[in-house]
Structure 1
Amino acid sequence: MKRYLLSTLTLSLIAAFAGAADVAKPATPISGIDVQYIDPTVRAQDDFFAYLNGKWLKTTEIPADKSSWGTFAKLRDDLNPQLRGMIEAAQKDPHKKAGTDNQKIGDLYTSYMDEKKRDALGYRPLTGEMQRIRALRDKKAVPALVAHLSQIGVPMPYSIGVGQDARESTRYAAQISQGGLGLPDRDYYLKKDDAKLLDVRAKYERHVEKTLALAGEKDAAAMAKAILGFETALAEVQWTKVELRDPVKRYNKMDFDALAALSPGYDWKGALAAAGIATKTDYIIVGQPSYLTGLNQVLEKTDLATLKAYFEWQLLRSYAPYLSKDFYDANFAFYGATLSGVTENQPRWKHGVSTVESVVGEAVGRQYVGQYFPAERKARMEVLVKNVLEAYKQSIDTLDWMSPETKKEAQAKLAKFTPKIGYPNKWRDYSKLTIKQDDLVGNMMRARTFGYNRGVNKLGKPIDREEWGMTPQTVNAYYSSSMNEIVFPASILQPPFFDMRADDAVNYGAIGAVIGHEISHGFDDKGSQSDGDGNLRDWWTKEDRAKFQAKADMLTKQYDAYSPVPGYNVNGALTLGENIGDNSGVAIAYKAYKLSLGGKPAPVIDGLSGDQRFFMGFGQVWRVKMRDQQVIVQVKTDPHSPGQFRANGTMMNQPAFYEAFGVKEGDKMYLAPKDRVIIW
């Protein structure tokens, strides 16, 4: 299970890493703080986010082709021209050889950008799959069809994949999870008293109708109505996003007979054979057993015509971005404009770049690292990681809510953390993937099948601990509980997260807090249920768990009160893990920053103390503006709180923040000491 920012290192003593802290430091450091965005009309003590980012918030318009705009989106947007340059160079390379990464990169991009051919083909590239669906004559054939469509990346009512066994982390295991909705969350189907969600639902039905009509269906309106009814029935038996956060409840190891017992009459034997699973394993991990039972009942009640309409819709929805302009535009009109509030589609080349990355991302990443990621950046990041890990090591021993028994286990887990920085040591092999410059839909089908088979073929093989779950050019970071690793791709290691020109304060407040955030996932309400080897195991005493849960409940209540859009509050239970990550990450990064000073006073830069620059470094990272539609999607589906609450909510729990900015009782950023949630 990966925990993203937006989921064995030998720890050294302070004396051992103090000398290394000078790696690649600038001779005359800058503050790294965007002081030009400070709004002097707002007090830091009343609204730290608005104080630090106020001028930017007042003067910045969200680009027409974006649902939100801020530090993450800008870094990604700045990255696109660099990636485009490399991709187009591969496209135009007269010496590229068939089967090489360069050939795959260039020819995939060529196939995507050939709009004339796409428009001439319409939806004909899907004819074979459409015929397969329309030829369905009996519900008994549904399991095999679901398995086939899943392999070409079409969303189905359940998904079968392969990942580490959460209780035996040295093994890969087949896993089944719920799925199959065309809207972001079950609330979009089930909330009857929310006008905004009801409006989206009505527009979704019209979008389904339009898409089916484009594919030549004469009864598109009736089909769309039936599809919406079917998806609503799926939503009614699905687990909520909060329920899905529990790794123990999601772990249900079953042999194939037990799986069949969940859904009497459903041909799981045929489904697993068609999925390529049956001969490679004798068990499967079911994420949501009650859902499979409910799904079986829904399937029994649903007529064959509705199921065929649903399969056809999901096929068209999945491949609409690669079809002719009418499908492409209709897909954007709903998923971009209606759902996210975007008023203008991105240029085709940006979608082309994203498509290439989605298929051969590490091949592109290998070139990106060679051109844009200097070695000294990685070296300085390694020092930051060591210092943050050391701060955690010291903090564990001083926790007043953790017993010696649990502290011993916590230290053992921390010692087994594996940091990965910049890029993988071993690059992904795409040699078995065929890409043609005149077959976009075929390319995507082959790519999705390649990815699916790559997972299935892991069964029975040793765990690949060199593998990455993100490409180097991804602006994000993650923690994996089953691998017990923290991963920081190259592209996040640039301002405002990581500034080679800047004094350490801003870097510890920004990327240092990100490091601390990801490490904390190993000890939050979910990650703490896995040990240092990545296995689900309860290594806490009951008393310690109760003390931790009391703090978690306080944090849940605090974030429940935040409302980014009137009528829509943050879900404190859904965002709990990430809120723990932010609060713990800042607290530990602050301790690591103090360790890095080696007892020396921090310099004053731009009139700002080291502590002020530390907290401002964190606050400016979450600079963001979002369209209301996208905010609603976020609070319904995203385990991360909106940016302003990641900044302000976190600061309100940090005692050092109060001292750095003189926050006193009566200020809006003030929480009484008894109400502050301090975990680390």
Structure 2
Amino acid sequence: MESLSSQEFPGAGRPPEEGQPAAGSRCWVVARQLLAAVLLLGLSLGSPVLLVYLLRSCGPGACDSPACRALLARALASRNASASAAPCADFFSFACGEARGSRDPFQALAEENKRRLRGILETLGSQQPGSGEEQAFRFYSSCMDTDAIEAAGAGPLRQVIEELGGWRISGNWTSLDFNRTLRLLMSQYDHFPFFKAYLGPHPTPPHEPVIQIDQPEFDVPFKQEQEQKIYAQNMREYLAYLNRLGTLLGGDPDEVQEHASMSISIASQLVQFLRPLAQRRAQGKPFQVVTIDQLQPLCPSSKELAPAIDWLSCLQATFTPMSLSSSQLVVVHDLDFLKHMSRLVEDQLQNHRDFLQSHMIFSLVGTLSPALDSQFQKARRELSGKLRELTEQPPLPAHQQWLKCVEETGTFFEPTLEPLFVREVFSPGTRSAAMELFTAIKDALVARLRRLPWMDEETRKKAQDRVTQLQVKMGPPEQAPEPALVGQEYNDIHLGPSFLQSFLSGVRARRARIARGFLQPFPRHRWQVSPWGLSAHYSVSDHVLVFPAGLLQPPFFHPGYPRAVNFGAAGSIMARELLHIFSQLLLPGGCPACDTHALQEALLCLEGHYAAFPPPGRAPFNGSHTFLEDAADVGALAIALQAYNKRLLWRRGEATLPNLDLSPQQLFFLSYAQVMCRELSTQESRDTHSPPILRVHGPLSSTPAFARHFHCPHGTLLNPSRHCQLW
């Protein structure tokens, strides 16, 4: 077959059987060789008849490589080709008719990547003692030693609680300094019960790394656009979970109940202080830059900020080895939240110091549950399962110890495992083919920017320059770190005597590694994505877009796939990530020089277009907070299709998949849709994407070429009378 790789990079890193052209492609090679002679001979020799014969006989070839056979099996297993799943009426059912939660392609690929990582970890036992590979093997082995973890029981966790001062429900509590406990939680346990602090690029140019203070995360959804009945059920389940934790740690049931109820009350009050990002943007304050001494002022008249927290001490301990001072600038995402949070903490310290301590312990136990014995893990899984059931989400996959252990080992030993994983799954030929695909997508975006009616010339020129100047990384960094530097990453990881202690040592070492990375000039730390992960990452500070090796795998991408598959699946993913760079332009005030009337018309068209679809699921769907992702979905499909059509114009003999009875263009749209195949369920409140059925039907119905290639009658769901073009 003639794959993207075989066209652009002959023989680059491909197995021999996948580098052979299909019959149709060989025919086109012959046709090209004869074309020059045909043109020279002219009409006198009847050459047009010969040319027409060659063109008609050189149809697309069928791809029969192992990679294509596996892709075909997946497509046939997922696709619903019955008459009831008419592509023009419901393409999601046509492409994903048999899809259920377990067939989510991202979940399946994530698990496959972890299986590969598991195979690597289980072969590292013979490495040099003290090396990163040997430590990774020992950590993974201790995680898999469930007998030892069960034998230790709650003992290691009780030791942690005692180091934090204990808590009243266990009968051994010392009323220590609140900020001492908070400092330990942040620096030693990577736990933030009242706010979240992390290192990230500054929101404005030149995007230098800076400490950011954001809203906290919560174990359960606290009354976010929920019905009162569901909210009450959530709280009952969460209370039962906290009661179970306290009982497992030896607390008296009545006292546990009281402290668990107060912990939920504290969390509920914190939630009331939160302001959504959209609201902060509308008020012109999506973030504020302040100094540490402004958060914790020495002047009593300035106590309206957040004086309950010893910010300098807590942040310095958390981000060691960085050297901080009271004049250090930090980015605060919601200063009003910090003010209210500080007052709540001060009130609790004056009246209920023991309840405040219990709240911090309860939330810490939840964070540490993956490293605890089966009773704690089971309690956590059952809580998650019940909460998902209440919100009509699909159940979680069955618990597998190896999967949890691979995830944790990968988190703590990523610098060592990265080259081993990439060497196994990402050949130079795969990288070259992926770069060629991205170049085609990038060129298509530049071309589309020239035709946007709402974009002014200056903004258009800047946008085109940003696209052309963008760096892209496929797989791992080109420069691997020095072995000596990799070895230094693990000097602070001390394994044993319990798995919890090994886990906490890994937590501390990883946090220190991140802080050291931000002090180094080499921007390796800004990748923020593991090689076996599935999320692309854009580094705004370096203007670099990263696609990890784990994402550029079957079923989304393979050098031996037909181009229709690579452009429809991986190409649309790449285009979506490119458009995210320009999402700010679509926000109010994001493009002052643009034609705001034309832009608003395009946005309203898109909003009305999505609102016309039947609501997915039983609960009403509010698409107002998904419009940025909707715009990216529609634009990504248009860009990927334009890039694919250009390749077809210059490269004939497109390969197909046998037994699907689909043209190359139809295969392109099928591949796009099957990226979205997953269970139809109610959206999580924080999900900024539309439900999967809308992510398929919205873009396809905005693409006239889809209706043309599937012969959809005018006026059907996926061939409406009006189409929207935003990108």
Task: Give TM-score scaled by structure 1 length.
Answer: 0.85
CA deviations over 1:273-319 (Å, ceiling 9, x no partner): 44346626721110111111121222233321221111110111111
Contact 1:337 1:343 (8 Å CA) reproduced: no
Secondary structure of the residue that 1:222 maps to in structure 2? helix
CA deviations over 1:406-449 (Å, ceiling 9, x no partner): 11111121122111101123456323341426432122212222
Q: Which moved more, 1:79-88 or 1:108-117?
A: 79-88
User: What letter is aligned with 1:623?
Assistant: C
User: What letter is aligned with 2:451?
Assistant: T
Secondary structure of the residue that 2:569 maps to in structure 1? helix
Secondary structure of the residue that 2:328 maps to in structure 1? coil
Contact 2:96 2:674 (8 Å CA) reproduced: yes
Q: Which moved more, 1:374-383 or 1:243-252?
A: 243-252
Among 195, 198, 208, the residue aligned to 1:158: 195
Secondary structure of the residue that 1:154 maps to in structure 2? coil
CA deviations over 1:251-285 (Å, ceiling 9, x no partner): 31112233235224543344334434662672111
Name the counterpart of 1:315: 364
Quote the Cα distance in structure 2 between the aligned partners of 1:661 and 1:248.
46
Name the counterpart of 2:721: 672
Quote the Cα distance in structure 2 between the aligned partners of 1:427 and 1:235.
43
User: What letter is aligned with 2:724?
Assistant: V
Superposed counterparts of 1:251-266, under 5 Å? 251-260=287-296, 261=302, 262-266=305-309
Name the counterpart of 1:424: 477
Name the counterpart of 2:36: none
Among 468, 482, 500, the residue aligned to 2:527: 468
User: What letter is aligned with 1:143?
Assistant: N
Among 292, 296, 299, the residue aligned to 2:342: 296
Counterparts in 2 of 1:363 and 1:465: CA distance versus 1, 3 Å: closer
Superposed counterparts of 1:140-289, under 5 Å? 141-151=177-187, 152-169=189-206, 171-183=208-220, 185-187=221-223, 191=226, 193-218=227-252, 219-240=255-276, 242-243=278-279, 249-260=285-296, 261=302, 262-276=305-319, 279=324, 282-289=328-335
Superposed counterparts of 1:50-449, under 5 Å? 50-54=93-97, 56-57=98-99, 62=101, 69-90=103-124, 92-93=125-126, 95-98=127-130, 100-134=131-165, 141-151=177-187, 152-169=189-206, 171-183=208-220, 185-187=221-223, 191=226, 193-218=227-252, 219-240=255-276, 242-243=278-279, 249-260=285-296, 261=302, 262-276=305-319, 279=324, 282-302=328-348, 303-339=352-388, 342=395, 345-427=398-480, 429=486, 430-436=489-495, 438-449=497-508
Name the counterpart of 1:488: 547
Secondary structure of the residue that 1:173 maps to in structure 2? strand
Q: What is the identity percentage for the equivalent residue pairs of Structure 1 and Structure 2? A: 21
Are 1:640 and 2:634 an aligned pair? Answer: no
* Cα shift at 1:472: 1.4
Quote the Cα distance in structure 2 between the aligned partners of 1:458 and 1:293.
31
User: What letter is aligned with 2:419?
Assistant: R
Secondary structure of the residue that 1:398 maps to in structure 2? coil
Secondary structure of the residue that 1:169 maps to in structure 2? coil
Quote the Cα distance in structure 2 between the aligned partners of 1:487 and 1:587.
22
Among 640, 644, 657, the residue aligned to 1:593: 644
* Cα shift at 1:235: 0.7
Superposed counterparts of 1:563-574, under 5 Å? 563-569=615-621, 571-574=622-625
Among 21, 43, 50, the residue aligned to 1:27: 21
* Cα shift at 1:523: 1.3
* Cα shift at 1:220: 1.1
* Cα shift at 1:576: 2.6
Among 504, 507, 511, the residue aligned to 2:563: 504
Quote the Cα distance in structure 2 between the aligned partners of 1:244 and 1:384.
38
Are 1:457 and 2:516 an aligned pair? Answer: yes
User: What letter is aligned with 2:324?
Assistant: T
Quote the Cα distance in structure 1 between the aligned partners of 2:663 and 2:591.
39
Counterparts in 2 of 1:602 and 1:46: CA distance versus 1, 3 Å: farther
* Cα shift at 1:603: 4.2
* Cα shift at 1:158: 0.7
Q: Which moved more, 1:246-255 or 1:221-230?
A: 246-255
* Cα shift at 1:214: 0.8
Counterparts in 2 of 1:82 and 1:268: CA distance versus 1, 3 Å: closer
Counterparts in 2 of 1:292 and 1:678: CA distance versus 1, 3 Å: same
Counterparts in 2 of 1:482 and 1:662: CA distance versus 1, 3 Å: farther
Quote the Cα distance in structure 2 between the aligned partners of 1:427 and 1:604.
37
Counterparts in 2 of 1:20 and 1:367: CA distance versus 1, 3 Å: same
Secondary structure of the residue that 2:190 maps to in structure 1? coil
Q: Which moved more, 1:34-43 or 1:306-315?
A: 34-43
Quote the Cα distance in structure 2 between the aligned partners of 1:498 and 1:267.
50
Secondary structure of the residue that 1:345 maps to in structure 2? coil
Quote the Cα distance in structure 2 between the aligned partners of 1:23 and 1:639.
42
- Structure 1 gap segments, 5+ residues each: 1-16, 64-68, 530-537
Q: Tell which structure's C-alpha radius of gyration is larger.
A: 2
Quote the Cα distance in structure 2 between the aligned partners of 1:155 and 1:492.
30
* Cα shift at 1:642: 2.7
User: What letter is aligned with 1:82?
Assistant: R
Q: How many residues align?
A: 633
User: What letter is aligned with 2:178?
Assistant: V
* Cα shift at 1:102: 1.0
- Structure 2 gap segments, 5+ residues each: 13-18, 23-61, 168-172, 297-301
Name the counterpart of 1:45: 88
* Cα shift at 1:378: 1.0
CA deviations over 1:593-631 (Å, ceiling 9, x no partner): 1222244566484542332121111011111125xxxx4
Secondary structure of the residue that 1:174 maps to in structure 2? strand
CA deviations over 1:366-389 (Å, ceiling 9, x no partner): 211112222211111111011111
Q: Which moved more, 1:361-370 or 1:134-143?
A: 134-143
Among 634, 656, 660, the residue aligned to 1:583: 634
Quote the Cα distance in structure 2 between the aligned partners of 1:437 and 1:333.
29
Contact 1:579 1:641 (8 Å CA) reproduced: yes
Counterparts in 2 of 1:420 and 1:249: CA distance versus 1, 3 Å: farther
Q: Which moved more, 1:249-258 or 1:312-321?
A: 249-258
Q: Which moved more, 1:401-410 or 1:490-499?
A: 490-499
Quote the Cα distance in structure 2 between the aligned partners of 1:481 and 1:546.
29
Counterparts in 2 of 1:139 and 1:419: CA distance versus 1, 3 Å: farther
Quote the Cα distance in structure 2 between the aligned partners of 1:238 and 1:466.
30
* Cα shift at 1:157: 1.2
Name the counterpart of 1:612: 666
Contact 1:208 1:224 (8 Å CA) reproduced: yes
Task: Give TM-score scaled by structure 2 length.
Answer: 0.80
Counterparts in 2 of 1:38 and 1:415: CA distance versus 1, 3 Å: same
User: What letter is aligned with 2:96?
Assistant: N
Name the counterpart of 1:12: none
Q: Which moved more, 1:591-600 or 1:44-53?
A: 591-600
Q: CA RMSD in A?
A: 3.1
Contact 2:606 2:724 (8 Å CA) reproduced: yes
Quote the Cα distance in structure 1 between the aligned partners of 2:243 and 2:277.
28
Counterparts in 2 of 1:596 and 1:20: CA distance versus 1, 3 Å: same
Quote the Cα distance in structure 1 between the aligned partners of 2:284 and 2:571.
30
Quote the Cα distance in structure 1 between the aligned partners of 2:201 and 2:190.
21
Q: Which moved more, 1:162-171 or 1:318-327?
A: 162-171
Counterparts in 2 of 1:81 and 1:292: CA distance versus 1, 3 Å: same
Contact 1:406 1:541 (8 Å CA) reproduced: no
Q: Which moved more, 1:394-403 or 1:434-443?
A: 434-443
